[in-house]
Amino acid sequence: MKNLLEHMGIEPDRLHFSWISSAESTKFVSVVREITAKVKALGPNERFVKKEAKVA
């Protein structure tokens, strides 16, 4: 799914997957830090967002 979204033009840093055990608090913190930094760098998502229907 990530691959197909990126194929359609969603930025690679927009979607993240991680497997974190409840015992891995430090991994959780570092993954969340990394993700927020990457998503903030991209700015607000404009793609695959439906605003008002653009029709006649």
Partner 1 sequence: MKVIKIEKSDLAAGLDKLRGGYRLFGPVKDKTSHGFQELAAGQAPDLAFQNTRLSPKNLVFPQSETLLAYSLDGNDPEGHIAREVDKDYSPRAVIGIRPCDAKALTLVKMNFDTDAFKDPYWLNLYNASTFVGLACDAPGGTCFCTTTGSGPFHEEGLDVLLVDQHDHFLAKVLTDKGEKLMTAAGFNQSADGDAAVEKAKTAAEAAITTAIVTDSLAAADPMALYNADIWEDIAFACINCGTCTFSCPTCWCFDIQDEAQGNKGVRMRNWDSCMFPLFTMHTTGHNPRDTKVKRTRQRFMHKLKYFVDKYNAGIMCVGCGRCVRQCPVNIDIRKVSALMNNVGDAAKCAV
Partner 2 sequence: MSTYTENIQQIAQRLLKECRVEMVIGFRKGSMPLMNEPCVITQPEAVNQLVWDSNCGINLTHYLTNRKEKIGIVAKGCDSRNIVTHITENKIQREQLVIIGVPCLGMIDRRKINAMVEGDIQSVSETDDAVTVATRNGEQTFAKMDVLQQNCAVCVHRNPVIHDEMVADPVPEQNGVDQYADVAAIEAMTPDARWRFFDELLAPCIRCYACRNACPLCYCPTCFVDESKPQWVGKSQDPMDVRTFHFLRAYHCAGRCTDCGACERACPVGINMRLLTKKLNKDCLDLYGWEAGLSPDARPALDVYKANDPEDFIK
Residues lying near partner 2 in the complex (CB under 8 A): 1-12, 16-19, 31, 34, 47-50, 53-55
Closest CA to 42 of 20, 19, 18, 9: 9
Nearer to partner 1, 8 or 53 (CB): 53
Amino acid identity at 26: T
Residues that bind partner 1 (CB under 8 A): 50-53, 55-56
Question: Phi-psi region for residue 47, left (φ > 0), alpha (ψ -120 to 50) or beta?
Answer: beta
What, of partner 1, partner 2, none, does residue 49 touch, CB below 5 to 8 Å by kind?
partner 2
